Amino acid sequence: MRQKEKEIGEILSKKYIRNHESSGIEITDDVKEKCSEKAQREAATMKDCLHCVRLGFQAFIENPDTGLHIASAMVFSNPIYNSQNPGFSELRIAEIDRSSGSCIGGDTVWMRCATKVKR
């Protein structure tokens, strides 16, 4: 197993703990252990996901009083796979030209990857 794949469980565990902290849940050893177990289970299923990317789309409505309001659930694109052998190379997005666009569509999103991808 490569180093990046080993780090996934640790990264997910820290993310789950941060989510608990932000929701006001006290972080005990039991909570840390449950977060770690959940992260390891999820990391085991994510091994093949390191070699593809999906774009996420979500609509927001701007409210002058309260800021942004979520108007829809997140929708994901079809996967974009690494064209090289996924056993040897992970997909690395080096740049993306935008993080938002019009909800009526028609916007082009450019991604510059460190490796070639097939559409």
Q: What is the pLDDT of residue 84?
A: 60
User: For 65-117, what is each residue's pLDDT tens digit?
Assistant: 877 777 778 888 888 776 665 555 566 667 777 777 777 778 887 777 665 55
Given this model, what pLDDT does residue 95 score? 75
The rounded distance, in Å, linking the Cα atoms of 36 and 53 is: 24
pLDDT tens digit sequence for 15-49: 888 888 888 888 889 988 988 888 888 887 776 66
pTM of the model: 0.44
